[in-house]
Structure 1
């Protein structure tokens, strides 16, 4: 085995070269991808599965509609707020994934076995939400480290968080608890981080950083001026602009999750969840071909305008487009963040912006709780278009403003 060494590219990014994935793991890195993907499958049932079954749960438990929505709202806040600490903590993936699996499972058990609103609020919303956030943050962080040259693998992993919930619409929450324990527990035995700044042997990192034939995404995605620390990111005006764009996207996503099944049935909600997950698979190619920021802007426009199809006579089509567009937003977000503020191990910068889902999710779910109907979909449409406008005017810190089509 070649001796490991650390080199830098033109932008000051560091790469540890000389070690293959097989020499570090004893197996291909695809095992890491498979383990993370499997762990994410059941964790998303607390969001997408709960939203699809929300009308039924409200009727069975004797809750008000607003109480049922508050359970989802608090779950979303706890889940999204846990992703950044999971990516930032630097703990062993086995530990955070195991804790996340137990918390997720306990939330599902409480949701299945207790009709008490307070019990469900604490067990499912708080503990289950934190557990789902730990699973999400750990899996995304590990895959980002093992696939630094292939951001689409992160999107593939996060997609399982959405479409993995569909089987549990038929099986229920107790099977979800068992599956998340089995899959995330197995993932905890397999997942491990590579050495800091590890880079795969088959790609020359310096050529990848500059050569558009090696890294075609450079044609429409310019690298950042420099690497920004978390403190510097927070101080950048562009970060606030992107944060509010993510907030708007999250509001649209969570409004649809909370209200689609009540407005047009479980099938529509299931179509939304499936499209949200599956739509992330091909968005990496689109982002590389047309520019991640441009595609993100277009996805937000589609997510907003698709709301108007739902209240018309094309509800299934609207749910499919809205789900795919919302899923694309979260698939593109890591690359957009890296392109503006630099790359960091385990995507802590992404986790910072993913935290906007807490505020946006609260807005979206409460919109479903207290407005709903056609008026709620119109407001969601406006939020999507406003978020698209924020992204359209976004520019890299340190670069002069140029025409939209040249950025």
Structure 2
């Protein structure tokens, strides 16, 4: 199936596999629309007379369910393959957004958008990553980084579109959920058709046989129970949790922190948030390429050092 997909583009497998990177990037642009949720918060507060804390509930629940769904998605990918798993997740994503448009209050919106939509994103998120990792077994960091770049730049692409729909007199806030959900459902279903793992006999350029790939990239084949007994798993889990916590906290409060803490005007704060989205996206393939050269441990150390440096700069020179 993978080779057939690539032949549709008139390419050899080693060339056409980059189509899968682009496919994954576009899928992640749809999934990363959660980063644009901040454009809904003030209109929701005005619509239902709720507090700023309440308007953040859908965002928080979405991220929590997203995280919980990801481990289950791994089993689905192994059992069903990336195409069917992406279609299931895409159906949930679209359903969550569309159903959210009929919400009478923030509680229902949190359940429909946060739980259903969050579960869908959690199921889809790992599919293009798994596909690209299989097609790029050597130096996969850059290819995977390009794939997830879509998640980072999504706010830059999606947020202005959603803001324009919310502000449009003939659309408004709740219909924006509806139209966005329909668009995500259609796009994800179409892109899912391209996702497939390479055939068993395929080998990347420069490698003579498929079996040679295993020799080049040694790995442990552990069951979940065996994995949970290793210290490396908990170190990796903790590292990833800390990194995501820092990033998602910054994303969630970026705009109000700019205006309320740094005392920036609205236009400057908006520019800063846009720059944040740009480098959130570009940093992914960049650090993927760095990982290919330095290895994951040293790259993570560089990343955390940069976060610490930025935090100290904000602490000492945050205002103005």
Structure 1 residue aligned with 2:72: 85
SS of residue matched to 2:138: coil
SS of residue matched to 2:56: helix
Structure 1 residue aligned with 2:62: 75
Counterpart selection for 1:38 from 11, 26, 30: 26
Go from structure 1 to structure 2 and tell me whether the alpha carbon gap of 1:60 and 1:243 turns closer, same or farther (over 3 Å shift). same
Write the mapping of 1:227-376 to structure 2, written as runs, cut at 5 A: 227-264=221-258, 265-310=269-314, 313=317
User: How far does residue 256 in structure 1 lie from its aligned partner after superposition?
Assistant: 1.0
Structure 2 gaps of 5+ residues are 163-175, 259-268
* Contact 1:168–1:176 (CA under 8 A) maintained in structure 2: no
Structure 1 gaps of 5+ residues are 1-19, 212-222, 317-407
User: How far does residue 56 in structure 1 lie from its aligned partner after superposition?
Assistant: 4.7
Q: C-alpha deviations, 1:282-310, integer Å up to 9, x for none?
A: 22222233332111112012123323434
User: How far does residue 162 in structure 1 lie from its aligned partner after superposition?
Assistant: 1.8
The normalised TM-score by structure 2 is 0.77
User: How far does residue 68 in structure 1 lie from its aligned partner after superposition?
Assistant: 2.4
Q: Distance in 2 between matches of 1:44 and 1:130?
A: 13
Q: C-alpha deviations, 1:70-110, integer Å up to 9, x for none?
A: 32121111112222222322213232222222222233334
User: How far does residue 274 in structure 1 lie from its aligned partner after superposition?
Assistant: 2.4
Structure (1 or 2) with the greater helix fraction: 2
Go from structure 1 to structure 2 and tell me whether the alpha carbon gap of 1:38 and 1:225 turns closer, same or farther (over 3 Å shift). closer
Go from structure 1 to structure 2 and tell me whether the alpha carbon gap of 1:50 and 1:197 turns closer, same or farther (over 3 Å shift). farther
Moved more, 108-117 or 181-190: 108-117
Go from structure 1 to structure 2 and tell me whether the alpha carbon gap of 1:128 and 1:315 turns closer, same or farther (over 3 Å shift). farther
Go from structure 1 to structure 2 and tell me whether the alpha carbon gap of 1:312 and 1:183 turns closer, same or farther (over 3 Å shift). farther
User: How far does residue 257 in structure 1 lie from its aligned partner after superposition?
Assistant: 1.7
User: How far does residue 278 in structure 1 lie from its aligned partner after superposition?
Assistant: 1.4
User: How far does residue 69 in structure 1 lie from its aligned partner after superposition?
Assistant: 2.6
SS of residue matched to 2:285: coil
Q: Distance in 2 between matches of 1:162 and 1:225?
A: 29
Aligned length: 285
* Contact 1:55–1:261 (CA under 8 A) maintained in structure 2: no
Go from structure 1 to structure 2 and tell me whether the alpha carbon gap of 1:65 and 1:308 turns closer, same or farther (over 3 Å shift). farther
Moved more, 141-150 or 196-205: 196-205
* Contact 1:309–1:315 (CA under 8 A) maintained in structure 2: no
